[in-house]
Chains A and B, each alone.
Chain A
């Protein structure tokens, strides 16, 4: 700003301080203007910031919290948890009579409130059989006399109460916070000896994470393979025809996800359009109809189609800025078509490839709807498992832990995207 030098001489008082028209020193006046401007922009941003924080960020934080929160044990059987604190699981002995008496009193209240089954289901995630144990005990415990010895009474109801491992699990999951859900989410469990991996044949989540990553990578690659020629063609055509062809890219982009997924369901079914066509041209016989849906093939085809515009648009915007003189110069220096493309043109498109590939990959690993509808059992993603735990198995802690891991993965990728493309440079349409 050049106002200091432009100031007419009469604004400079005898003390040599530059003053604004109203007599305040210019420095202070400018600082005040800047403060006002900052305040104004903040006031404009504040409503949305508050809205996003409350309606979006707090829910996410709540979910992160849920993945470690474990108050259910100490809320349901508080006295048992307290008396169990002095018991040593490694001693090889059952807890003493005080603990059983505490459990009796706790369960009386819990059964009254009908919350003992919830505790059973919670502990069942860690050790199978706990749900049944609590349900059975809950039924019997009301008929129990308030007289000891409770230890024998409980073992009479179910001999699992004589199993030290049952008590060890209750003690292990008494604290208000637990790493248990996260361990489950990576196929590990907390045992007496510390953290251990589950047996090979029970490792479903690592397999699922791995499959999600591999399939997202395959989708990204096929998008790149199909998107690159289109970007090249569009950027080399005259603007008028390029704009016209762009409609063919933008129409799918603007069409509802559900519409496109249902289209693929119609096309890929065994009695669907593609199979009918192949039978009609005698490429396959009626018995040999291809299975292209409810498996990985279905997910990959449909998601490639859905995400392809997200690859083409960044590629196109980068390719548009590449001057044709470089390739011409290379050719005039004797490069073959291939060399000119590979050594001169292609390296200049790498930023576009990076932007498009990361964008498609980020979108792919979080996908839920399309794998759910066309993926069957072998073509589903980690998101589908999260949804299953929220709405069907009701294991919300595990859903939250899986979600947190997925979120961290996406954030890491987005950090890379921000480094390459810049968050402000996202272009739409």
Chain B
């Protein structure tokens, strides 16, 4: 990459230009290093949390899959994995369906008390998690939902809906409303219009909202810690307990798997964003 500095730049300007890039490089290193460092550490053959001399010498014997084997065979971790992959999708579906409908409703031209409704719907994102967890713990205990699968799913869905609302609303801003009228004028009933015209166009927003809702539930630990009982323990719960009490290197293997998952998620979102921009470029909005 050629330097954007003009040829007459002084030495000071040149030095600052490169110094600034080095500083930025260090900040990027700070951002990314902690996440990447756990991946090699998770292959440690010893039960240590740091690089053994053997690992630094790249001795193959110093590396092993044993923490991964532990993750996939230990019943505690397996139950946590099972709970995580059953709770998160249920919460995601609930949050996405309700959130998408509400976002479409909110994007209409005349909605009474729009800002008040918006404030209520966004509130689960704003209230600190510990307060949501405390409130839900007290309230759900009264209803007998504390320590149940349904209780955790409802709580996670409530926490995920604001993200769906925000992403779908953002997509609807670029939605060309006359397309709906055109479909209607050609005789399509509202349901057909919705599924054949509106839905495909706002799909990227719905999917990225759903991904947000999924990751909210999948990563959530505070609410599940209070609201769930041992039989609802999820992966983050198990990691939290593991980190607090008996720190086991299996956590690093789990963390690496989750890093892979977030890379996949990031990639999907990027694809969606591109698609959405392409679609928006085509629509005359």
Interface residues of A (CB under 8 A from B): 34, 37-38, 40-45, 47-49, 51-53, 55-63, 66, 226, 229-230, 233, 241, 245, 247-252, 254-267, 269, 271-273, 276, 305, 308-309, 337, 362, 365-369, 372-373, 383, 386-387, 390-391, 396, 399-400, 403, 406-407, 410-411, 414, 423-424, 426-429
Contact = CB atoms under 8 A, between A and B. Distances in A.
Nearest to B237: A258
B54 interface: no
B126 interface: yes
Nearest to B13: A337
A259 B258 contact: yes
Interface string B90-122: 000000001101101110111110010111111
Contacts of A266: 37-38, 41, 49-50, 252
Given A44-B105, A262-B239, 13 more contacts: A41-B105, A44-B108, A47-B102, A230-B24, A256-B255, A271-B49, A276-B51, A305-B31, A362-B126, A383-B128, A387-B130, A406-B131, A407-B128
A255 B122 CA distance: 23
A33 to B, nearest CB: 10
Given A251-B32, A267-B37, A407 B158 contact: no
A169 B165 CA distance: 50
B27 A59 contact: no
A328 to B, nearest CB: 12
Contacts of B239: 258-259, 262
B50 A403 contact: no
B130 A383 contact: yes
B23 to A, nearest CB: 6
A34 B16 CA distance: 61
Contacts of B166: 426, 428
Nearest to A252: B31
B138 interface: yes
A41 to B, nearest CB: 4
Contacts of A56: 123-124, 132, 135-136, 158
Interface string B123-157: 11011111111111111101000000000001101
Nearest to B136: A59
Interface string B46-58: 0011110000000
Interface in B30-73: 30-32, 34-35, 37-38, 41, 48-51
A245 B130 contact: no
Contacts of B117: 45, 49
